[in-house]
Amino acid sequence: MTPPTGSELAVPDGFLMGAATSAHQVEGNNTASDWWALEHTPGTFVAEPSGDAADSYHRWPEDMDLLSELGFNAYRFSVEWARIEPEPGRISRAALAHYRSMVRGAVERGLTPLVTLHHFTSPRWFSDRGGWHHGDAPEAFAAYTRTALEAVGEGVEQVATINEPNMLSLMYALRRLASEYGWQALGAGRESGAAAFDPARVEPDAVVTAALTEAHRRAGALLREAGLKAGWTIANQVYQAEPGAEEAAAAYAHPREDVFLEAARDDDWVGVQAYTRHRVGPDGPLPVPEGAPTTLTGWEVYPDALAEAVTHTVGTVGAHVPVIVTENGIATGDDTRRIAYTHRALASLARLIEQGADVRGYFHWSALDNYEWGTFKPTFGLIGVDPVTFARTPKPSARWLGALARAGRLPLVPPAAAC
């Protein structure tokens, strides 16, 4: 490897640099899952169903070929519990063989697979009986983990048990309120009447938080027994306290993020997933600053969130637990903006690595334009997907980031142009 220039940092040996997807968002026709059921329930927030998604269930070899050819050395994807166990206790050998083929396919293409066992979706039977509220939910997840090891036990080093448990717990709280008040009340604000609620002020479901933590603990033990490195990935919200609101911000952040980070203190690694920041005043969360640039999801464009999230994670979990950035990206139709955002985010990350932070990898969200939980409109992908033909088209951002991955470099200097 040639020495880096003054504006670049050579990544550590073994550094993973890739892109990420989740099964439900790209595979298509995940008919046995609870999300498929939600998508076909009238009167919810869902604007359109996932349908065929990106048809990656059949086209995964093409997706992996593209990532490898672009220069990436890793791919994060999930296996789908609803496909593996579509009915309680009934295991699909075909689904296990499918995911085993994906793992082998990644390895054959020089892509280190980081596999997620649960990325928001569960089997419909699991949710119909109460989901994470059911008393034996952690054991059901442990049993699924034992089964999934048949697919991911060979050729995989890192496994994420549960993706963004803090968001999953919050979803349960929001669904409970929606069932009581109706989905039309979602985000209506306190001024709209007693039946309205502000989702920014809803706390994650405490019962679900406890169940997810126990499920993670049990699954992690099984994975380590199999010689794998276990962790989970947290949605890092980058809570920023306004002057005088430090105590309020800490109280707001703890049930929404820090309790999940604290549960990772004995893990083999922890996943950081950062996109933007959230400002908190004495009375709670504040809106996006007036005039600030926003993404297609309405989030403030704030690439420095990545370094701030890593710093907070290390300070909460402890420096002894390695960090992997398992998601970072921007929903935009302007690929020049995607490059500028990612360049600045990577530059901030590189500075932390240069200062000694134990960061083992970076996965961009997402590899493909995909189904973003209710709609296809927010485009996060490095690779565009035609909704009719499913033709894949790498964007300039994919070639730029892939070239960095091939060279083993991260930029140290932010881009001159604002993103």
pLDDT tens, residue by residue, 88-117: 999 999 999 999 999 999 999 999 999 999
Nearest to 116 by CA among 271, 293, 7: 271
Can you give the pLDDT at residue 6? 55
Q: What is the spatial distance between Cα 161 and Cα 152, in angstroms, rounded to a whole number?
A: 12
Cis peptide before 366 (omega within 30 of 0): yes
Q: Which residues contact 305 (CB under 8 A, 6 or more apart)?
A: 236, 238, 274, 275, 276, 277, 345
Both tokens of 399, joined, read 């070639």
Can you give the pLDDT at residue 118? 98
> Could you tell me what percent of the chain has a pLDDT over 70?
95
Q: What is the spatial distance between Cα 202 and Cα 51, in angstroms, rounded to a whole number?
A: 30
| Contact between 74 and 112 (Cβ < 8 Å) | yes
Q: 195 pLDDT exceeds 60? A: no
Q: What is the spatial distance between Cα 58 and Cα 368, in angstroms, rounded to a whole number?
A: 14
Q: Report helix, strand and coil shares of the chain as percent, to nearest 5.
A: 40, 20, 40
> Which one from 8, 39, 164, 327 is the annotated catalytic residue?
164
Q: What is the spatial distance between Cα 56 and Cα 51, in angstroms, rounded to a whole number?
A: 12
Q: What is the spatial distance between Cα 177 and Cα 117, in angstroms, rounded to a whole number?
A: 27
Both tokens of 378, joined, read 């927010």
Considering only 195-199, 231-235, 319-323, which range has the smallest mean pLDDT? 195-199
Can you give the pLDDT at residue 210? 98
Please indicate whether residue 164 is annotated as part of the active site. yes
Both tokens of 352, joined, read 């932390």
| Secondary structure letter of residue 48 according to DSSP | S
3-class SS at 226? coil
Both tokens of 220, joined, read 């992690």
Q: What is the spatial distance between Cα 136 and Cα 52, in angstroms, rounded to a whole number?
A: 32
Q: How many CB atoms lie within 10 A of CB 336?
A: 12
Task: Indicate the residue type of 206.
Answer: A
Can you give the pLDDT at residue 182? 82
> Which run of H or of E encompasses 116?
strand 112-118
- Which pTM was predicted? 0.96
Q: Which residue has the tokens 């009986």?
A: 129
Can you give the pLDDT at residue 185? 73
Nearest to 17 by CA among 414, 402, 323, 415: 402
Q: 4 pLDDT exceeds 90? A: no
Q: What is the spatial distance between Cα 305 and Cα 298, in angstroms, rounded to a whole number?
A: 16
Fold exhibited by the domain 8-411: TIM Barrel (3.20.20)
Pick 182 or 166 by higher pLDDT. 166
